[in-house]
Amino acid sequence: MMKGARANVIDAIGSTPIIKLNKVAAHVASDIYVKCEFLNPGGSMKDRVALNIIQDAERRGLLQPGSTIIEATSGNTGAGLALVAALRGYKCIFVMPDKMSNEKILALRAFGAKVVICPTAVEPDDPRSYYEVTKRLVRETPNSFHSNQYYNPANPEAHYLSTAPEIWRETAGELDVFVAGMGTGGTISGCGRYFKEKKPGFQVVGVDPIGSLYYEYVKTGRMTKPFSYYVEGIGEDFLPGTMNLKIIDQIMRVDDKECFLMTRELVRQEGLFVGGSSGAAVAGAIKYAEQLGEQHKNILVLLPDSAQKYLSKIFDDEWMRSNGFLDEEDPLGTVRDLLAQKRQRAIVAAHKGETLRNVIGLMKEHGISQVPVLDGGRLSGLLSEIDLLNYMLKHSGQMEVTIDELVEADYATVTPETRIQLLKNIFNEAKLVCVLERDDLVGVITKIDLIDYLASKRA
């Protein structure tokens, strides 16, 4: 072996640089640094995960020469697995949802992997969903190993054993806050655990896209209705086994537009050639730093993958414009525009502890069939006509009980900045849309409100 050379590409995983942001976060008192995981050989931090998953499976005898690795992946875990598998002589089959960029699919095929595409707009338990198709392929493929990044403890462990100690060593422990997007939760759970063990008071901040269910779940413990969004790799419509939400101190919400505009700024102003979830994580970190005001903290943001796979989306003006992500006026406007135009602006809400009788009176008085329920000013759930009816039929018209047991989560939450475009499919899933600004309920949107608004735009 020649001096200075690495034995193979696996030895080039990790040791990514940490770089200070100089322009996009110049207005905050804290310093924001980024960990450039997009510089890994497979193009993302998932190289570390893939390596740890494969080594763990080999140790446990789950992988033998000629085995086929099967994974439901949005691309990056696939690239990492394909790379390590290529060196170790395993075959790979990847199952991907159809919203993923074509570049990601082609990159996996380049490594010799087989890629199966599944529809995004189906429930996770639908036989066509990528979770179910994966399970079927695992059953039907002989000598297969399901790497299962959503439930495999070797995923967060990769970050606990590799990413986090590396960051800690390089920064000599001067770090105060770690910020990462939340997908499988591997990054945030593994790194978060390590940093918290190292430093009391260390803050772990998760970033979640609007449409994903993590944010509301962390805030209220309720599984609200997820809906689709464009940023890839972060946010979920279920709770993966690899996500440890207890490790998270704060959760920041971002929308597609701010993620993509920040991604473009990171490339143009900082020269960091990163993908959309990196823009999301930095946008979330800046919001967090803004909340800190004059306090100074050393904040580190993990940048998961590179811009390469998103050139025909985030970096294509035509794609950005047609989805309303460029600064030009979006013809349909935002939720704030809809609320401003709504006829009945005052929010009608019930409160935890109220009796069924009161709430039925309230709903009759205002002619509404569902009502948000507040707990000390914060949204705690939804109550709808059908739940009241079912309860009364079952309990022979009992009306003096509290509504607390009947509160459900059949709603989606958005912010005033959410674009109306994004609400397109929301009412197929959710009964009501609740608008939250800094966690306060500032409006509710029903189907008829959206119809009224779209009709007025058309006129």
Ligand X SMILES: Cc1ncc(COP(=O)(O)O)c(C=O)c1O
Give least dist CB 264 to ligand X, A: 16
Measured CA to CA, the distance from residue 158 to residue 53 in angstroms comes to: 8
The three-state DSSP-derived secondary structure of 350-393 is EECCCEHHHHHHHHHHHCCCEEEEEECCEEEEEEEHHHHHHHHH
In the complex with ligand X, the residue whose CB is nearer, 183 or 284, is: 183
Find out whether 231 and 209 touch, Cβ atoms under 8 Å: yes
254, β-bridge pairs = 209
Residues found near ligand X in the complex (CB under 6 A) = 74, 76-77, 181-188, 232-234, 275, 277, 304-305
Say if CB 417 and CB 339 are below 8 A apart.
Answer: no
The closest residue (CB) to ligand X is 233
Residue number with CB closer to ligand X (90 or 214) = 214
Say whether 46 is catalytic: yes
Q: What's the CA gap between 258 and 74, in Å, rounded?
A: 21
Compute the residue count for the chain: 459
Are the C-beta atoms of residues 215 and 251 closer than 8 Å to each other? yes
Considering only CA atoms, which of 154, 45, 34, 143 is closest in space to residue 90? Answer: 143
Q: Which residues pair with 350 in a beta bridge?
A: 373
Residue 290 CB partners (closer than 8 Å, separation 6+): 28
382 is written with which tokens? Answer: 């939804």
Cα-based angle 73, 310, 416 (whole degrees, multiple of 5): 90
Helices (H), 204-275: 214-220, 256-270
Residue identified by tokens 């110049």 is 26
CA atoms within 13 A on the CB side of 251: 24
Alpha helices by DSSP H, listed for 293-355, are: 317-322, 335-341
The 10 Å CB-count burial string (b at 16+, else e) for 238-252 is: eebebbbbebbebbb
Q: Which of 35, 46, 257, 287 is catalytic?
A: 46
- Least separation in angstroms between residue 194's CB and ligand X is 14
Contact 29, 294 (CB under 8 A): yes
Name which of 163 and 413 has its Cβ closer to ligand X. 163
Q: Token pair for residue 152?
A: 């495999």
**What's the sign of the alpha-carbon dihedral 386, 418, 282, 278?**
positive
453-458: long-range contacts at Cβ-Cβ below 8 A with a sequence spacing of 24 or more? 453/337, 453/338, 453/341, 453/342, 453/420, 454/332, 454/420, 456/341, 457/331, 457/332, 457/333
Structure token digits, residue 55:
């080594």
| CB neighbours of residue 100 within 10 Å | 21
Nearer to ligand X, 45 or 85 (CB): 45
Residue type at position 43: G
Report which of 42, 105, 38, 16 is spatially closest to residue 277, judged by C-alpha positions. Answer: 38
**Residue nearer to ligand X on the CB measure, 44 or 144:** 44
Residues serving a catalytic function are 46
